[in-house]
Amino acid sequence: MRNKLVVLAIVVASCFAYTKLMARVGSGSPPPDAPLEQQADLIRVYKSERRMLLLRGDAPISTYRISLGTAADAGPKQREGDERTPEGRYEIDWRNPKSMAYLSLHISYPNPDDRRNAEAGGFPAGGDIMIHGLPNGWGLLGNVHHLWDWTDGCVAVTNSEMRDIWARVPNHTPIEIMP
């Protein structure tokens, strides 16, 4: 029994070290922007359906299965560390090609109301809510990541989907996150 625990501890430590190393390596180079007529002017997330749409006008141009924060079904994000995904209207305000997950688009959470509500409860609102791919080095997991919600409040897709989203979503694209 003791040997099995030692092996398990080594495997866990190795996975942790591998993840930390790959986070430093980064995502690689992002794809070029899609032609204007293929770019989204709105992102809509349906948390209960684990689905995200890119829209141009009223027409969907892409649909993705997503994973969310581990406590996403407990309601909207209320404070830092609650592992919930926000709800409301935000925008994509910057992008990170060298994030610890494969590419990432930052969602402008917290807005002033989010900040005020968290502070009224005596908590920081948190931040760093992103749309991103899988953690660097774990892209081979692909669609397996849909089996459970595993993020700290972000919206996660596969790496190939993240390349498509990166190319189709310019900065300042509005995003509506619905229950």
Q: How far is CA 169 from CA 21, 61, 80, 99, 166, in A?
A: 29, 11, 26, 17, 6
Question: Using 50, 70 and 90 to split pLDDT, how confident is the model at 143?
Answer: confident
Contact 43, 52 (CB under 8 A): yes
Taking CA atoms, 60 is separated from 23, 33, 64, 68, in Å, by 33, 18, 11, 21
- The neighbour count for residue 117, using CB atoms within 10 Å, is 17
Q: Residue 9 pLDDT > 80, yes or no?
A: no
Residue 26 has a pLDDT of: 60
pLDDT for position 42: 98
Cα distances (Å, whole numbers) of residue 89 to 33, 124, 179: 24, 20, 12
pLDDT band for 28, please (50, 70, 90 cuts): low
Task: Give the span between the Cα atoms of 125 and 52, in whole angstroms.
Answer: 24
Q: What DSSP line would sit under 51-97, residue for residue?
A: EEEEEETTEEEEEEE-B-BTTGGG-S--STTS-PPP-EEEEEEEEET
159: pLDDT strictly greater than 80? yes
Residue 8: Cβ within 10 Å count: 10
Phi, psi at residue 117, to the nearest 5°? -65, -40
* pLDDT of 165 strictly over 90: yes
Q: Is the pLDDT of residue 44 over 70?
A: yes
Distance of alpha carbon 42 from alpha carbon 25, whole angstroms? 31
Task: Give residue 170's Cα distance to chain centre.
Answer: 16
Contacts of 170 (CB under 8 A, 6+ apart): 33, 39, 92
130 DSSP β-pair partners: 106
pLDDT, averaged across the chain: 88
Whole-angstrom distance, CA of residue 109 vs CA of residue 126: 8
